[in-house]
Amino acid sequence: MAFLEMRGVDKRYGGVVALDDASLSAERGEVHGLLGANGSGKSTLNKILTGVVAPDRASIEVDGADTRIDRPQDAHHRGISAVFQELSLVPDLSVTANIVLAFESTRLGFVQRRRDRERAAALLERFAPAFHGNTLPLQAPVGSLSPGEQQIVEIAKAIAREPDILVLDEATASLYSAQVEVVSAVVRELRAAGALVLFTSHRLGEIYDLCDRATVLRNGAVAGAVELAETTEAELVELMVGSVTAPAQEVVEGRGAASLEAARDVPRLEVEGLTTDRLQDISCRVAAGEVLGLGGLAGQGQSALLNALFGAVRIRGGSVTIDGQPALPRRPKQAVDHGIALVPGNRGREGLFPVRPILENLTVPSMRGRARFGVLSDAAERAAAVRAGEQLQIKYGSLDDGVMTLSGGNQQKVVVGKWLLTDPRVVLLDDPTKGIDVRAKAELYEVITALTEQGVAVLLNSSDDDELLALSHRVLVFFEGRVVSELSGNELTRDRLVADSLQVAAT
Amino acid sequence: MNLATLRDRAQLAEPRDLLRNPVVLSLLVLLALFAAGNLVAPGFASYGSFVNTLRIAAFLGVIAAGQTIVILGGGEGIDLSVGKIATFSTVVVAQVSQGEDERLLVAIAAAFAYCGLIGLANGIGVAYLRIPPLVMTLGMVGVVTGIIRVYSGGQPEGRAPAVLSQVVNGTALGGVRGSVWIWLVVAVCTIWLLRRTTFGRRVYALGANREAAFLSGINVQRNLVLLYVASSLYAALGGIMLLGFAGAASINLADQYQLISIAAVVIGGTTLAGGIGGYLGTAVGAVVLQTMRNLLIVLDIPAAGRQVVNGVILIVLLSLYGRQRRLRQ
Ligand SMILES: Nc1ncnc2c1ncn2[C@@H]1O[C@H](COP(=O)(O)OP(=O)(O)OP(=O)(O)O)[C@@H](O)[C@H]1O
Ligand SMILES: [Mg+2]
């Protein structure tokens, strides 16, 4: 009898079967992967274990005892704590205050509060290297941190409860490699201390690095439970998506980079001396059909450049031209008129209309082109949404369902899909594959390739170094708001990228 | 968003519970009110009485349409000046037309123009000067009160042109009055505007997530201005209809609509946080409120008592709204 046994778990949402007789069994002192394609039921299973979602049927045993988990409090009492895909921090409270919330001290009073604050600071100390410049932003409001840093605070908060079972549901999706390493180290410490960590991620590297065993879900049912040491990547992918897909990187390899050399003389996008509060004197040219990667440590100005080119932040100086025409946008509306699209880095806050249906979420940026005198045709709107849905293989029940009923990866596809419908000339991608599964990643890479074949210029920021290197023709390395180097051709290696990111001279 | 709210949302998303649909819910409330009234005063739920209720509810229904649009647009959006703008509209039409039929169209044009300008000022204050909507529109009540004083010398002259009264009060088809037909047209147009135009989609987008709307290429400020202009135009139309009903203008004829227009919107299931809801609910809400008022009259509750009851209902509704808002975060 394993430490955690979940058996016969069923859950439907209306007509959608989220879980169908799912089960999971894992031991103390184990990092257990919970894997599967987007919409396969991973988050639903996690939420049932933590009492957030009520199952239609389930039997849960912890430590040999039948356990009813009806409410989140029940999970707390059983020592289960979780980090979900949707962040749960209070944006206006400071980092410390958010963590202190987790302690739930029963005794009030000044001394207790000070002790809590000290505990919070000590806890965060373990994550210090993951923060920008390695300084802990203890007093900063959580809302002012980057998505990755917020995620780290969230993880720290979950650990503050000293759980026996820690659920990490795509907690690393928006983290850069250096940050992932910090989290991995903490997870290993927990494992050594005898905790069980349930780890969900779409990055195979992390899974092989951290997990001992894994349960793979497919369409809500268990497709297999495996020892990772005895399972190849191909076998694992096959279990998740049902058929072996080409490893994502190969999709884009062997593109004719040479033909770009000629095109580069006539840049599609040209940026000259762009300066904002967070950027200094950025210049670059991107040819039609080129993918320019933006590399570096987390938050060195990559997102800031994308936001500036989209008119979302105040620009202090510099010029931007598209096809030789001045195109410095003062607000996103103008950028869209110039044919620029931005897939933003924070899908919940910047990309989605959470209370609105999938249909509206997909069609709003492009609806003007389909409307006549501001009047929409329902049929045309639906056709457009269906087109985006098919292109990205979005898994949904009805276009009229709320967008938050989608699984995390499918929400991300909506955020990408709504811009494909605008027929852009320049596409700005801020970590576009976060939370989407291996197959969908490969499909998105194909979409990017198709865009470049149509002559679209792409700027790509990614927290995943391998993805950045595989997709980009060139990479600009950022450090503290400046471009410190440009990598192209055979300089496009992981070692060079890491070295330049850290500002260490490569040898 | 904490665990408990995640759980609530997961359950809300399940469509099995029709009772959670606010339009259905307020229709049930309406039925209950008619049933209760009929117990106290037989005939309360008769066809004639129902049609008469609609006739009076039409003014609220039209004014609350603008309120719905402003509230849907989110960002604490609210228009406290709709009542005063409607009053101003009655005064303008009465004074410009001087009761003459041939001057009616000019008078109506003037009312829309003046009220539209007031809405424009509201919109500019909210969108560009970033004044909180509550403060801006409450301040505007004071400004418009002053304008009415100066413009009418405290005692509006003129009256409703006969044509206007005939259109608003005349009966056609099954004893249904003109005001109801006008309301029906307004309702259909408003629902169409919200559901089938780019403007409507933008209203919902602004209310659902203003940041995402901005990053989807929506001109947030210009659309915010449009919300308040639309609201003032609906208020102007409501005022014109009310003048036709009352016959003569006064300096506070439509002031009461300031708060009950908000109540109608909330009863109809549009959340004060924006992004969720629509006009159909508001229309039902307007009938509910008018029926409730009739019921209080039938129950012989004096005017002061009726106001207290109205206030209490508003408090209850708004505190329920507080719950909804927590659910969203
Ligand atoms: N509140 C809800 N209402 C309706 N359907 C839902 C709801 N939550 C989840 N679903 C559906 O249940 C299925 C499983 O979703 P779940 O979030 O568990 O997937 P997942 O494996 O976590 O995917 P991802 O990798 O994209 O995060 C999906 O088809 C999803 O659309
Ligand atoms: Mg998930």
Residue A140: burial class (beta carbons within 10 Å; 0-12, 13-18, 19+): middle
Mutate to test the interface with B, among A310, A336, A356 (most CBs of B within 10 A): A356
Q: Is the pLDDT of residue A145 over 60?
A: yes
Domain boundaries, chain B: 55-328
Residues of chain B that touch chain A, judged by Cβ-Cβ distance less than 8 Å: 1-4, 6-7, 9-11, 13-16, 196-199, 201-202, 204-205, 208-209, 211-219, 275-276, 328
Structure tokens at A407: 């699984």
Average pLDDT of the residues in A5-32: 93
Convert the pLDDT of each residue in B257-294 to its tens digit.
998 999 999 988 898 889 999 999 999 999 999 998 88
Residue nearest to atom 31 of ligand 1 (CA): A406
Average pLDDT of the residues in A65-88: 88
Q: Is the pLDDT of residue A250 over 60?
A: no
Residue B8: the pLDDT is 38
B161 pLDDT band, cuts 50/70/90, is: very high
CB < 8 Å to B215, chain A = 310, 312, 332, 342, 344, 350-351
**What is the Cα B243 distance to its own chain's centre?**
17
CA of A43 to the centre of ligand 2 (A): 4
In words, the CATH class of domain B55-328 is mainly alpha
Q: Is the pLDDT of residue A446 over 70?
A: yes
Sign of CA dihedral A444, A406, B3, B209: positive
CA of B12 to the centre of ligand 2 (A): 19
Buried b (16+ CB within 10 A) or exposed e, A153-182: bbbbbbbbbebbbbbbbbbbbbbbbebbeb
Distance CA A165, CA A194 (A): 9
Residue A263: the pLDDT is 56
Answer whether A51 sits within 8 Å of B201, measured CB to CB: no
A256 pLDDT band, cuts 50/70/90, is: very low
How many residues in chain A? 507
B101 pLDDT band, cuts 50/70/90, is: very high
Convert the pLDDT of each residue in A310-363 to its tens digit.
999 999 999 999 998 999 999 999 999 999 999 998 888 899 999 999 999 999
- For A376, the closest of B10, B11, B198 (CB atoms) is B198
Structure tokens at A208: 């092989």
Average pLDDT of the residues in A141-167: 89
Convert the pLDDT of each residue in B132-154 to its tens digit.
999 999 999 999 999 999 998 88
Q: Provide the residues around ligand 2 (an ion) whose CB is within 5 A.
A: A 43, 407-408
- For B275, the closest of A52, A336, A356 (CB atoms) is A356
Residue A486: closest CA among A255, A275, A296: A296
Average pLDDT of the residues in A83-100: 85
Phi, psi of A150 (to 5 degrees): -60, -40
Per DSSP, A312 falls in state -
Residue A259: the pLDDT is 47
Mutate to test the interface with A, among B8, B192, B201 (most CBs of A within 10 A): B201
Residue A37: the pLDDT is 92
Residue B13: the pLDDT is 43
Q: Are B91 and B249 in contact (CB under 8 A)?
A: yes
Answer whether A376 sits within 8 Å of B197, measured CB to CB: yes
Answer whether B208 sits within 8 Å of A354, measured CB to CB: yes
Residue A343: the pLDDT is 96
Which position has the higher pLDDT, B19 or A480?
A480
Q: Is A55 in the pocket of ligand 1 (CB under 6 A)?
A: no
